[in-house]
Amino acid sequence: MTSTQSQSVAFNVRAAMQRKGKSQAAVGAVLNLSQQAVSRRLVGKVAWDVAELGTLAEFLGVSIASLIRERAA
């Protein structure tokens, strides 16, 4: 995953979290990650892996496709 793709996924995850009112701590608990590890993913410094995205999509009630969709430029 490129840096641009990581940032796009991070943007989509942040938007979904905001719409659903979910915190970094809640996401971390579901994914068994620290809040700091979630934070690194949410800013695009660390890429989400496929298993994390699947669990996260289910937790947020969204499709995986909506999380990995590229943002319009």
For 3-68, CATH gives 1.10.260.40
Amino acid 1 reads M
Question: What is the DSSP code (8-state) at residue 45?
Answer: S
Q: Which pTM does this prediction carry?
A: 0.88
Span 13-43, pLDDT tens digits: 999 999 999 999 999 999 999 999 999 999 9
- The residue extents of the domains of the chain are 3-68
Question: What is the biggest distance separating any 2 CA atoms in the chain, rounded to whole angstroms?
Answer: 33
Helices 24-31 and 50-60 pack at an angle, to 10 degrees, of: 120
Most confident of 34-38, 43-47, 67-71: 34-38
